[in-house]
Amino acid sequence: MVKAFKLGDDISTDSIIPGRFFHLRSNLDELAKHLCEYVYPNLYSKINEGDIIVAGNNFGLGSSREHAAQIIKLVGISCVLAKSFSRIFYRNAINVGLLAIECNTDNIDDGDNIVLDLEQGIVFNLTKNISINIVPISPIMKKLVKDNGLINHIKKYGDLKID
Protein backbone atom coordinates (compact mmCIF):
# COMPACT_ATOMS: atom_id res chain seq x y z
CA MET A 1 0.00 0.00 0.00
CA VAL A 2 1.34 3.39 -1.02
CA LYS A 3 0.12 6.95 -0.93
CA ALA A 4 -1.11 8.80 -4.02
CA PHE A 5 -0.05 12.35 -4.79
CA LYS A 6 -2.59 13.78 -7.24
CA LEU A 7 -1.65 16.24 -9.95
CA GLY A 8 -3.78 17.54 -12.80
CA ASP A 9 -3.78 17.49 -16.57
CA ASP A 10 -0.97 18.72 -18.82
CA ILE A 11 1.83 18.52 -16.26
CA SER A 12 4.89 19.53 -18.28
CA THR A 13 8.49 18.54 -17.76
CA ASP A 14 9.01 22.16 -16.70
CA SER A 15 6.33 21.70 -14.04
CA ILE A 16 8.04 18.50 -12.89
CA ILE A 17 11.50 20.09 -12.77
CA PRO A 18 11.30 23.88 -13.18
CA GLY A 19 13.69 25.11 -15.84
CA ARG A 20 15.11 27.77 -13.57
CA PHE A 21 16.76 24.96 -11.56
CA PHE A 22 18.13 23.11 -14.56
CA HIS A 23 21.64 24.36 -13.69
CA LEU A 24 21.47 21.79 -10.86
CA ARG A 25 21.28 18.87 -13.32
CA SER A 26 24.75 17.72 -12.24
CA ASN A 27 23.49 17.55 -8.65
CA LEU A 28 20.36 15.41 -8.90
CA ASP A 29 19.81 15.26 -5.13
CA GLU A 30 19.58 19.05 -4.98
CA LEU A 31 17.48 19.22 -8.15
CA ALA A 32 15.05 16.69 -6.64
CA LYS A 33 14.13 19.13 -3.87
CA HIS A 34 12.29 21.19 -6.50
CA LEU A 35 10.07 18.36 -7.78
CA CYS A 36 6.72 19.80 -8.89
CA GLU A 37 7.13 22.70 -6.47
CA TYR A 38 4.87 25.02 -8.46
CA VAL A 39 2.02 22.52 -8.92
CA TYR A 40 2.34 20.66 -5.58
CA PRO A 41 4.26 22.72 -3.00
CA ASN A 42 6.48 20.69 -0.64
CA LEU A 43 5.86 17.45 -2.54
CA TYR A 44 9.51 16.44 -2.12
CA SER A 45 9.25 16.47 1.69
CA LYS A 46 6.01 14.41 1.74
CA ILE A 47 7.13 11.41 -0.34
CA ASN A 48 7.89 8.04 1.20
CA GLU A 49 9.66 5.29 -0.74
CA GLY A 50 7.19 3.55 -3.04
CA ASP A 51 4.56 6.30 -3.18
CA ILE A 52 2.98 7.13 -6.54
CA ILE A 53 2.13 10.19 -8.57
CA VAL A 54 -1.35 10.26 -10.09
CA ALA A 55 -2.15 12.64 -12.92
CA GLY A 56 -4.66 13.35 -15.64
CA ASN A 57 -4.08 13.66 -19.37
CA ASN A 58 -0.79 14.34 -21.15
CA PHE A 59 1.61 13.89 -18.24
CA GLY A 60 5.17 14.96 -19.07
CA LEU A 61 4.47 17.12 -22.09
CA GLY A 62 7.07 19.58 -23.29
CA SER A 63 10.78 19.14 -23.62
CA SER A 64 12.56 15.82 -23.86
CA ARG A 65 14.34 16.36 -20.54
CA GLU A 66 15.00 12.89 -19.17
CA HIS A 67 15.79 14.51 -15.82
CA ALA A 68 12.06 14.82 -15.16
CA ALA A 69 11.60 11.03 -15.08
CA GLN A 70 14.97 10.51 -13.35
CA ILE A 71 14.09 12.87 -10.52
CA ILE A 72 10.65 11.32 -9.99
CA LYS A 73 12.34 7.96 -9.57
CA LEU A 74 15.19 9.35 -7.47
CA VAL A 75 12.82 10.72 -4.80
CA GLY A 76 11.29 7.28 -4.29
CA ILE A 77 8.18 7.40 -6.46
CA SER A 78 7.54 3.83 -7.65
CA CYS A 79 5.22 4.67 -10.52
CA VAL A 80 3.20 7.35 -12.24
CA LEU A 81 -0.45 6.63 -13.01
CA ALA A 82 -1.99 8.93 -15.62
CA LYS A 83 -4.80 8.97 -18.14
CA SER A 84 -2.15 9.56 -20.83
CA PHE A 85 1.53 10.42 -21.17
CA SER A 86 3.49 12.44 -23.65
CA ARG A 87 5.33 9.99 -25.88
CA ILE A 88 8.82 11.25 -25.01
CA PHE A 89 8.19 11.29 -21.25
CA TYR A 90 6.79 7.76 -21.38
CA ARG A 91 9.92 6.44 -23.12
CA ASN A 92 12.21 8.39 -20.79
CA ALA A 93 10.38 6.95 -17.78
CA ILE A 94 10.76 3.37 -18.97
CA ASN A 95 14.37 4.01 -20.00
CA VAL A 96 15.27 5.10 -16.45
CA GLY A 97 13.23 2.30 -14.86
CA LEU A 98 10.21 4.33 -13.75
CA LEU A 99 6.90 2.58 -14.21
CA ALA A 100 4.42 4.71 -16.19
CA ILE A 101 0.90 3.27 -16.30
CA GLU A 102 -2.15 4.52 -18.16
CA CYS A 103 -5.52 4.19 -16.45
CA ASN A 104 -8.55 6.26 -15.57
CA THR A 105 -7.41 8.29 -12.58
CA ASP A 106 -10.73 10.06 -11.90
CA ASN A 107 -11.43 7.92 -8.82
CA ILE A 108 -8.05 8.44 -7.19
CA ASP A 109 -7.63 11.48 -4.96
CA ASP A 110 -4.67 13.02 -3.20
CA GLY A 111 -3.75 10.92 -0.17
CA ASP A 112 -5.62 7.78 -1.25
CA ASN A 113 -3.97 4.47 -0.39
CA ILE A 114 -3.19 2.45 -3.49
CA VAL A 115 -2.05 -1.07 -4.34
CA LEU A 116 -0.89 -1.87 -7.86
CA ASP A 117 -1.15 -5.42 -9.18
CA LEU A 118 0.62 -5.57 -12.55
CA GLU A 119 -0.11 -9.26 -13.03
CA GLN A 120 -3.86 -8.74 -12.73
CA GLY A 121 -3.68 -5.36 -14.48
CA ILE A 122 -5.50 -3.58 -11.66
CA VAL A 123 -4.99 -0.61 -9.37
CA PHE A 124 -6.79 -1.04 -6.05
CA ASN A 125 -7.84 2.16 -4.33
CA LEU A 126 -8.09 0.94 -0.75
CA THR A 127 -9.39 4.29 0.49
CA LYS A 128 -12.47 4.05 -1.73
CA ASN A 129 -12.60 0.24 -1.95
CA ILE A 130 -12.59 0.22 -5.77
CA SER A 131 -10.47 -1.34 -8.48
CA ILE A 132 -9.37 0.30 -11.72
CA ASN A 133 -8.17 -1.54 -14.81
CA ILE A 134 -4.87 -0.43 -16.29
CA VAL A 135 -3.75 -0.36 -19.92
CA PRO A 136 -1.60 -3.50 -20.33
CA ILE A 137 2.15 -2.99 -20.35
CA SER A 138 4.25 -4.84 -22.92
CA PRO A 139 6.61 -7.56 -21.66
CA ILE A 140 9.69 -5.60 -22.76
CA MET A 141 8.52 -2.49 -20.88
CA LYS A 142 7.98 -4.57 -17.73
CA LYS A 143 11.41 -6.11 -18.15
CA LEU A 144 13.12 -2.74 -18.61
CA VAL A 145 11.51 -1.40 -15.44
CA LYS A 146 12.37 -4.58 -13.53
CA ASP A 147 16.00 -4.26 -14.68
CA ASN A 148 16.05 -0.63 -13.48
CA GLY A 149 16.11 0.90 -16.94
CA LEU A 150 17.43 0.44 -20.45
CA ILE A 151 21.13 0.93 -19.68
CA ASN A 152 21.09 -1.63 -16.86
CA HIS A 153 19.13 -4.05 -19.04
CA ILE A 154 21.66 -3.81 -21.86
CA LYS A 155 24.56 -4.18 -19.42
CA LYS A 156 22.90 -7.30 -18.06
CA TYR A 157 21.93 -8.95 -21.38
CA GLY A 158 23.91 -7.17 -24.07
CA ASP A 159 20.73 -6.40 -26.04
CA LEU A 160 16.94 -6.06 -25.63
CA LYS A 161 16.39 -9.69 -24.65
CA ILE A 162 13.03 -10.19 -22.96
CA ASP A 163 13.15 -13.90 -22.07
Query: CA torsion sign, 89 to 90 to 95 to 101?
Result: positive
pLDDT on residue 9 = 97
The whole-chain average pLDDT of the chain stands at 92
Segment 95-153, tens digit of pLDDT: 999 999 999 999 999 999 999 999 999 999 999 999 999 999 999 889 899 999 999 98
Q: What pLDDT band is residue 1 in, cutting at 50, 70 and 90?
A: confident
Q: Higher-confidence residue: 64 or 125?
A: 125
Is it the case that residue 3 has pLDDT exceeding 80? yes
Is it the case that residue 40 has pLDDT exceeding 90? yes
- Rounded to an integer, what distance in angstroms lies between the CA atom of residue 87 and that of residue 58? 9
Residue 8 near residue 36, CB atoms below 8 Å:
no
How much of the chain, in percent, has pLDDT values that exceed 90? 70
Consecutive H or E run containing 114: strand 113-117
Residue 4 CB partners (closer than 8 Å, separation 6+): 51, 52, 53, 54, 81, 108, 109, 110, 111, 112, 113, 114
Q: What pLDDT band is residue 161 in, cutting at 50, 70 and 90?
A: low
